[in-house]
Amino acid sequence: MKEFDETMGYAYLGKTDLRVSKICVGGMSFGQPQTMHDWTLDKSQTEQVVQHALALGFNFFDTANGYSAGTGEEYLGQALKKYRT
């Protein structure tokens, strides 16, 4: 992951000293297919999206435990663990 690549653009999260990318990657499409949407990305596809997003400098991901019966969060967490540096 690029460390605060300024071409991405970052902002402080609220009144904290956490810097997050100004653009967020939404996780609604991540998870086990057929549990929520026909267009849900499986584990391998989720990993590809997350790896690419990290390479571009994203560090802000949105998710919810309801996405694909919780598998969206699982797949996102596994991909972040695998590709985050």
Active site residues: 67
Q: Within 13 A of 46's CA, how many CA atoms are on the CB side?
A: 29
10 - beta bridge partners?
21
Q: Which residue has the tokens 């100004």?
A: 22
Q: Cα 6 to chain center, whole Å?
A: 19
Report the DSSP pairing between strands 25-26 and 19-21. Answer: unpaired
